[in-house]
Structure 1
Amino acid sequence: MEISVDLLPDQSDKPRGVITYYLTSKYDEKAKEGWIEVVPILSGFKQSQDNPISVMESRQQCGSIIRDEERGYYMLTECFHQWGYNLIPL
């Protein structure tokens, strides 16, 4: 599965561009555990120097995708380097 997140265009004080996440569902039969392998592609994304946002910068494993009404995003959660990352707006 591929998910592209289109951010605010042409505003120098805000992050802009596209972040693409390649998501692959994995399952270990012996351990009876599943996870999501996430590979971010940041080549079309420019981070803001003044107002940076938290983005996944390297391949990680995450536990699930949740719908977070309070934040207004679907989120990748239980990730290796950080608890959660905003994925796409609701």
Structure 2
Amino acid sequence: MLRSEITTTKVLTPESRAAAMEVIDAVYRHEKRWIADSDAEIPTNLPERADVSWFVTHVGDTPAGVIRLAYDPPLSIPPELDFHFERDIALDRLPP
């Protein structure tokens, strides 16, 4: 059985952004249909951003996964998500 090397790198260059965009386009736009335009998902100024990092994983030479890490994200839930907690859950009583 042949094995491919799995590597993960931080998206910092136009080339690594293009690889990450391949995954986003294939999975989130075409497969899941969660987004209409994949170009807006990863900003082009990533090396300058301190609030977020993107990483792309390759299996051999093929882009296979992408993850975004947000540093110190807001704790509020955007109203457009129309998210509601279940009434039985008392967040103030959950263990730390």
Give the TM-score normalised by structure 2: 0.27
Over alpha carbons, which structure has the higher Rg? 2
The structure, 1 or 2, with the larger RCO (C-alpha pairs under 8 Å, 6+ apart) is 2
Higher strand proportion: 1
Higher helix proportion: 2
Give the TM-score normalised by structure 1: 0.28
